Amino acid sequence: MEPGLVTGPVDFALEKAATIEGQVVDDQGAPLAGATVRLAYKDLPAVTFDWQTGEVETDAEGNFRITSATPNCDFYLEASHTRFPVRLSQSSLRAQPGEIVKGAVLTLLPGATFTGQVLDAAGNPVADAEVRVIARSAPFPVPAGVRSLGLEQELHRVVKTDARGQFTLEGLADGARRIIIRHPNYIAYEHTIELDRAIAPTVSLQIRLQAKAQ
């Protein structure tokens, strides 16, 4: 018999996925439309599929419905929004095959805003400069064995400057951030800022890049 050759019928026993329903609100209890909600599983195998995260966006009332939750696995709910830092549910959930879990509420807290303008040595705006903002640590304790896609994005944010050399990043968690600005025609710029929304909700910088030697 040739290796891998199947000579008889093969049966697969598939479990029906679970459904998770809930709502995302802000710190005032108002519903948040357009928030991204995912499932962050604990101790999943190394090989997973994109659909297992069940990524959806909240509707106008902040409601979400995920219909592809893997049954009999521990997971956390993860929510993020352009104006708010990512957040995980405080406790893990587990659903049975075909079960509908209702009433999950995720509250997002406001984040800091980082804005700036990138100029050349003569004071002219530099468009299409890449601005990387890298967090030095997670904004909250991450349970062992949990991989959060939203947290990975929160720790490493990237944006480009517009025609006026300006950029804005909203919804950043408090803490130290490493700033790296690159453009093909200029020497890379690095700087560290400390974000604390209670002290300064918005931090602004004006950066001047030095042209590379010709």
Q: In a structure prediction context, what are the per-residue pLDDT tens digits for the chain, which is 214 residues long?
A: 456 555 656 555 556 889 999 999 999 999 999 999 999 888 765 545 566 788 999 999 999 999 988 888 899 999 999 889 999 998 899 999 999 999 889 999 999 999 999 999 999 999 999 999 999 888 778 888 887 888 888 889 999 999 999 999 999 999 999 999 999 999 999 999 999 999 999 999 999 999 998 7
Q: What's the total number of domains in the chain?
A: 2
State the pTM of this model: 0.78
What is the C-alpha separation between 161 and 55, in angstroms, rounded? 28
Evaluate whether residue 2 is within a structural domain.
no
Residue 10 resides in a domain: no
Mapped onto helix, strand or coil, the DSSP state of residue 152 is helix
Last residue of a domain, one of 61, 83, 108: 108
Whether 96 and 159 map to the same domain: the answer is no
**Domain that residue 60 falls in:** 18-108
Query: Do 130 and 83 sit in the same domain of this protein?
Result: no
Claim to verify: residue 103 and residue 147 sit in the same structural domain: no
CATH of the domain at 72: 2.60.40.1120
Do 101 and 130 lie in a common domain? Answer: no
Residue type at 177? Answer: R
d(CA 133, CA 154): 9
d(CA 78, CA 100): 18
User: In terms of domains, do 82 and 158 share one?
Assistant: no
**End-of-domain residue from the set 66, 90, 108:** 108
Q: Same domain for 97 and 134?
A: no
Q: Is residue 36 one of the residues assigned to a domain?
A: yes
CA 153 to CA 78: how far, in whole Å?
12
Give the 3-state secondary structure percentages of the chain, helix then strand then coil, rounded to 5. 5, 50, 45
Assess whether 150 and 69 both reside in one domain. Answer: no
Separation CA 42–CA 57 (nearest Å): 22
**Domain stops at, among 108, 124, 147:** 108
CATH code for the domain in which residue 180 is found: 2.60.40.10
Token readout for 107 is 């509250």
